[in-house]
Amino acid sequence: MAAFEIAVSEAELDALFPAHLAALMATTAASMAATAFDALVIGAGVLHIQFQDDASYPFKVNPAFKHWAPILNAPGSCLIFQPGQRPLLVFLQPEDYWHKPPALPTGAWLQSFEVAVIREPEQARQHLPQTGRIAYLGEIYASLESWGMTLNPEALVSRLNFERMAKTPYELACLRVANARGARAHHAAAEAFRAGASEYAIHLAYLAATGHREEELPYTNIIALNEGGAILHYTDLSTETPAEHHSLLIDAGAQCRGYGCDITRTTAGRPGTFADLVEAMDTIELALCALVTPGRSYPAIHLEAHLRIAALLREAGLIRGSAEAAVATGLSGVFFPHGIGHLLGLQTHDVAGLQATPAGGSLERPAGHRYLRLTRTLVAGAVVTIEPGLYFIDLLLNAAKTDGRGKDIVWTAVDALRPYGGIRIEDNVVATVAGAVNLTRAAFAALSPAPARH
């Protein structure tokens, strides 16, 4: 574990960046050679104005752009890369007194780039290579069509996306910091829950602990009290405080230089059957995390999760029959309807999870498991989430009543647990040649004082 300490300073991140950029330049140059491109332009993205308004939506940078440069606020900027040359950062800094223009970064990582500051978006054209085939990667807007570039060529995009599975030491360090921030915030959220707070108040406690604004989160926080935990992507953030706090399911992240963690914890309001299920699910989740190793089929981890969750359902008296039968008939899917996880990095659901080869194609999901987001075999440096769940979802339970699976459900036991919504526990795990490295558990263990497990 020595290579995966949680405390990482900005200086240490900067020191790791040149090797990251060199590796990125090498893989990108190889992908460009394979697809016959001489230069690559990566757009940061543009601001979008709301319908019949003069206000813009929050800016979200192109993930491919922040792969090269840790800049999250750069609308209208771009990066230009030609193999054999230092990459050029074309930074848009408008002259504006209505809004504060983006500040040119000052970090030591910027020394790896040539930099050109422009005042108008069209000035970026002056910095394009004058010869050769140019590929553009990013959001397409009208004026780009006259720039003489090939926009988002599928063959090149496929190769670049495929290579993002394996993370560099710099990327892993960013993810460690993100997990440290996320763990601290989850601890604060659990304390707010135990104090009887509303979903919205828990959300505010979470934000304060991360130091992020809402728009800086890697995804919208899922903070569900009681029955809300049965809605997989519950984002209501009610300001009302329920009469009783049966449970909290919080799925929320944090980020460092654009790399986000994705952590879920479930907390029971009191000891009892639901709390026991949370503890049992925690044990299952840790066993599944240990399977994250190079050469492992990710769908195999997903199917193992179904077997283990089905066994828990049987042991807890929620279903009848064997675990194997529950998986075969789809009964386990009534309680665990989503995939075991996904790739993680520049995006919460990182790209190319279903891609067969660098050239493209797809790897099919196991039959009956249409929501699995990752079907590839893991490689060293891959970062994935592991998030088994167990829910009491009225829609799925009602369907089971009518399609025959309901005969193996112990309805009195299930009905008693409906007020608790559900359970999900999620960690971020790196596949290494030495075994699985759990960034999330390490982050929680580093908190002082150490929090309760849930």
- The predicted pLDDT at position 454 comes to 43
- The reply to whether 9 falls in a domain is no
Kindly state whether residues 122 and 170 are assigned to the same domain. Answer: no
Strands (E), 157-261: 222-225, 247-252, 255-256, 259-260
Kindly state whether residues 199 and 102 are assigned to the same domain. Answer: no
Kindly state whether residues 88 and 213 are assigned to the same domain. Answer: no
Kindly state whether residues 265 and 146 are assigned to the same domain. Answer: no
Kindly state whether residues 318 and 441 are assigned to the same domain. Answer: yes
- The predicted pLDDT at position 143 comes to 85
Kindly state whether residues 146 and 173 are assigned to the same domain. Answer: no
- The reply to whether 25 falls in a domain is no
Are 310 and 331 a contacting pair, CB within 8 Å?
yes
- The predicted pLDDT at position 1 comes to 31
Cα atoms in the 13 Å half-sphere on the side-chain side of 317: 8
Which H or E element spans position 283? helix 273-289
Kindly state whether residues 304 and 191 are assigned to the same domain. Answer: yes
Kindly state whether residues 176 and 236 are assigned to the same domain. Answer: yes
The residue out of 128, 152, 176 marking a domain boundary is: 152
Are 116 and 89 a contacting pair, CB within 8 Å?
yes
- The reply to whether 18 falls in a domain is no
Alpha carbon 287 to chain centroid, angstroms: 21
- The reply to whether 13 falls in a domain is no
- The reply to whether 191 falls in a domain is yes
Q: Which residues of the chain have pLDDT under 70?
A: 1-6, 448-454
Kindly state whether residues 145 and 189 are assigned to the same domain. Answer: no
The residue out of 152, 179, 210 marking a domain boundary is: 152
- The reply to whether 337 falls in a domain is yes
Kindly state whether residues 321 and 216 are assigned to the same domain. Answer: yes
User: Which CATH number belongs to the domain containing residue 71 in this structure?
Assistant: 3.40.350.10
The residue out of 131, 152, 173 marking a domain boundary is: 152
- The predicted pLDDT at position 376 comes to 98
How many structural domains comprise the chain? 2
Structural domain including 252 reads 165-445
Kindly state whether residues 221 and 305 are assigned to the same domain. Answer: yes
- The reply to whether 22 falls in a domain is no
pLDDT 10s digits, 262-313: 999 999 999 999 999 999 999 999 999 999 999 999 999 999 999 999 999 9
Q: In what order do the strands lie in the sheet with 150-151?
A: 114-118, 88-92, 78-81, 39-43, 134-137, 150-151
Are 349 and 343 a contacting pair, CB within 8 Å?
yes
- The predicted pLDDT at position 145 comes to 85
Structure tokens at 239: 């300001």
Kindly state whether residues 199 and 140 are assigned to the same domain. Answer: no
User: Which CATH number belongs to the domain containing residue 357 in this structure?
Assistant: 3.90.230.10
